[in-house]
Structure 1
Amino acid sequence: MRARNIGSKVHPLLRIRVQLLGGLFLAILMPVLIRTAVAPKELLSPSLQATVVAAFMAHILGFLIHRRIANFPGVAAAGYILPTFALTYGVVFAIIFFFRFDYSRFQAGSSFVLSTFWYFSLGVATRRLAPYKLAVIPGGDIDRLDAVSGVAWHRLYSPSALDERVSGVVADLRADLSEEWERFIANSALSGIPVYHVKQVTESLTGRVEIEHLSENTLGSLNPNQAYIKIKQGIDWASALIMLVMLSPLLAITALAVRIDSKGPVLFRQKRIGYRGNLFTVYKFRSMNFDYSSGDERNDAITKSEDDRITRVGRFIRKTRIDELPQVINILRGEMSWIGPRPEAVALSQWYEAELPFYRYRHIVRPGITGWAQVNQGHVAAVEDVLEKLHYDFYYIKNFSPWLDILIVLRTPKTMLTGFGAR
């Protein structure tokens, strides 16, 4: 699962077809061979045949999703192998269970376990075979790489100085490079070696887009994929309707706890800035004392660390993000998505717009209950921290895709269980 190495032949385990075929053999064919060795007639069983087809689809889907996820920040994608395959196998076999198809539990269970085992082992092996090192060509704005961790940077001093295995070449392609270095870059690209622009690498490894000049179009296309925006809205609406039914007991229990714990309405309502800069009313379970006001709207909208306005029940539901669940109403109304930049209160949004360039650009996609900034940074309010948050929001917009949404979904449970970034 690594890029090609300079100056060396590609190890078979680094080839995509070897990884996929090895996974299919171990996770799909091997359980069939074991099962039919014990009971040969099982090979003709419709339930086994149906399970093999379902497991094959789940395996291929898991492989494709994991490969796409591995392209996003950092180089350690092993932590997402189990949740990725749990998601794909869970969805496929949930469909089978819903339609009451007969299936082989042995084939399904062993296929899932062997899939995760294969790709986790493969990840360990490929890290040893192809440690992630990037060669850096001198010139331009390359000093920014010193602050990026997770990669071994190999500084080059001449085009002939490359004497160790690396996974790609990094250069400031906007710099005025010599003819020798330009020839080196061209030869590297022609031989199949990845060549990265320094800004591309820092964005990928940090998950942040540095905000420079909008005229430079540093965000790629200024308009995210409109087709995916429509598809995502449909998925959001259908899943929100299902979740509203499934979570109704939890919603009722939480509403009762909020009501008993302190005086005031169960739901908290607040005007926020949403999609395309439009105002909407966000719904949350009330987690603060209802009758508190300092007279400063902007100050009241900021939740401080150990804020004494938070109630006993409120502290728990904020940490676990249960207080956000009523926003399923906003999703059904088309005002929000499950995933996107967090919407801010009007007073805060106006403050940030006055202080930060391009802040309004984050409204080009629907705001979300969770998002890239939430799983990477958590809750912030100060202007300098919001600028950092804006870097994450712009990265999400630039890489707006189902693959990044899936990665955020996989990271969100950890955020909820650990209370990361909650106040």
Structure 2
Amino acid sequence: MYGILKRIIDILLSITALLIVSPVFIISILILACTGEHEIWYLQRRVGYKNNIFKMWKFTTMVKGSSKMGTCSLTLRNDPRVLPFGRLLRKTKINELPQIFNVFTGSMSMIGPRPQMEVDFYRYPEYVQQVIYNSKPGITGIGSIIFRDEEKYLSAPGVDPVKFYEEDIAPYKGTLEIWYLNNASTWLDIKLIFLTAWVILFSDSDLPHKWLKGLPPKPEWMNVSMESFLAQKCLLDISNEQEFDKLL
């Protein structure tokens, strides 16, 4: 019953959203057509329902071939691959609005696990890969809300973005998405829609963890400054190396 109701809500919300944001669509299309590389739409391969590949719609925000440059699928703060107008689109999340078409056609939902590029999908632990897309991927969801500013962590001084994503971000993000799958309901979806708007306006708010009962606790590196976390991690690595040397 929940699945049928969710699909009906998705159709109604996608039609309503298209009508409401149509002025933003028109303005964005005109600006993109006249600036940057004059590309408007970006259709990207993503992993979706039951791990099938689909094309996800976005507004163009980066230079052509960006997925093969620099940190590839990961975007950093002040990433040189991002076009000037693209920075505004990404900051306001307007670049995600074309995914309303995906919701209307049924390849995505308003709320669900964020669809990943294949390279990032395989960075999830295997047990997460097996179940995460038993629900349709969403425009927003608990992973998107908690990691509304993922670039902040990946861009911290001394961080290897690829290694940090694989070892720290992906496992926790996967845990969050599995929590959603285990607790999915219409009421939770309504909460997540509200929280999406809330964290866009108040990016440092801790309301999601205060409001959502049973949410997996934040890892240490989200509670302290990245500098402190990296220093502690470095000391732990040194200690482990010394213990290993004693065994030799």
Q: TM-score with structure 1 length normalisation?
A: 0.43
Which of residues 327, 352, 371 is equivalent to 2:123?
352
For 1:364-375, list aligned pairs within 5 A.
364-375=134-145
Are residues 1:334 and 2:141 paired? no
Q: Distance in 1 between matches of 2:57 and 2:91?
A: 17
Show CA shifts across 1:353-373 (max 9, x none): 5x4433231101011111112
For residue 249 of structure 1, report the CA deviation from its aligned partner. 1.3
Given the superposition, is the C-alpha separation of residues 377 and 292 from structure 1 closer, same or farther in structure 2, using an over 3 Å criterion? closer
Query: Is 1:277 aligned to 2:51, yes or no?
Result: yes
Counterparts of 1:23-422 in structure 2 under 5 Å?
Answer: 227-292=1-66, 294=68, 299-349=71-121, 351-353=122-124, 355-378=125-148, 380=150, 382-383=165-166, 384-418=168-202
CA shift, 1:306, in A, is: 2.1
**1:268 counterpart SS class:** strand
**How far apart, in 1, do the equivalents of 2:15 and 2:62 lie?**
28
Q: Which amino acid aligns with 1:330?
A: N
Q: 1:295: how far off? A: 6.2
Correspondence for 1:83: none
Q: Look up the SS of the partner of 1:362 in the other structure.
A: helix
Mapped to 2, the partners of 1:237 and 1:256 lie a distance apart of 27
SS state at 2:56 partner: strand
C-alpha distance in 2 between matches for 1:352 and 1:264: 33
Higher relative contact order (CA closer than 8 Å, sequence separation 6+) = 2
1:18 matched residue in structure 2: none
Q: Contact 2:33–2:39 at 8 Å: present in 1 too?
A: yes
Q: Which runs of 4+ in 1 moved over 6 A?
A: none
Q: Cα deviations across residues 234-292 of structure 1 (Å, max 9, x unaligned)?
A: 11012101221222111010111222220142011111010111111000001111254
**Which structure: larger Rg?**
1
Q: Structure 2: 5+ residue runs without aligned partners?
A: 151-161, 206-248
- Report SS of the residue matched to 1:358: helix
Distance 1:253 1:295, change over 3 A: closer
Alignment root-mean-square deviation, CA: 2.1
CA contact (8 A) 1:264 1:289 kept: no
Structure 1 pair 242/359, CA: closer, same or farther in 2 (3 Å)? same
* Equivalent AA in structure 1 for residue 135 of structure 2: V
Q: Take 1:295 and 1:262, find their aligned partners in 2: how far apart are those partners?
A: 17
One-letter identity of the residue aligned with 2:128:
F
TM-score by length of 2: 0.71
Amino acid aligned to 1:370: T
Distance 1:257 1:300 in 2: 26
What percentage of aligned pairs have identical amino acids?
29
Provide the rounded CA distance (Å) in 1 between the counterparts of 2:63 and 2:204.
23
Note the alpha carbon deviations across 1:282-341, whole angstroms, 9 max, x for none.
000011112546468xx4222123211111111111111100000011001101011111
CA distance in 1, matches of 2:65, 2:123: 27
Amino acid at match of 2:8: G
Once the 2 structures are TM-superposed, how far is the Cα of residue 378 of structure 1 from its aligned partner? 2.7
**Alignment gaps of 5+ in structure 1:** 1-226
> CA separation of 1:326/1:396 partners in 2, compared to 1, >3 Å: closer, same or farther?
same
Deviations 1:363-417 (A, max 9, x none): 0101111111222233547112111111111111111011111111121112222
Which secondary structure does the structure 1 equivalent of 2:123 belong to? Answer: helix
Aligned residues: 191
CA contact (8 A) 1:273 1:344 kept: yes
8 Å Cα contact 1:378/1:420 also seen in 2: no
